[in-house]
Amino acid sequence: MRSRSACASGLLLLFLTFPAAVQAQFAHTINNGTITITSYSGSGGAVTIPGYIDGLPVTTIGQQAFFFSSATSFSIPGSVTYIGGYAFEYCSRLRSVYF
The domain that contains 36 carries what CATH number?
3.80.10.10
Distance, in Å, from the CA atom of 63 to the CA atom of 71, rounded to the nearest integer, reads 17
In terms of residue numbers, what domain contains 59?
A: 25-98
| Residue 19 belongs to some domain of the structure | no
| Residue 41 belongs to some domain of the structure | yes
| Residue 4 belongs to some domain of the structure | no
| Residue 13 belongs to some domain of the structure | no
Arithmetic mean of pLDDT over the chain: 85
| Residue 8 belongs to some domain of the structure | no
Residue 21 per-residue DSSP state: H
32 to 6, 35, 62, 83: CA distances (angstroms):
42, 8, 15, 17
Distance, in Å, from the CA atom of 20 to the CA atom of 13, rounded to the nearest integer, reads 11
For the entire predicted model, the pTM comes to: 0.77
Average pLDDT estimate for 3-13:
46
Average pLDDT estimate for 70-96:
96
71-75 β-sheet, strand order: 45-48, 71-75, 96-98
Number of structural domains in the chain? 1
Read out DSSP for 4-18? HHHHHHHHHHHHHHH
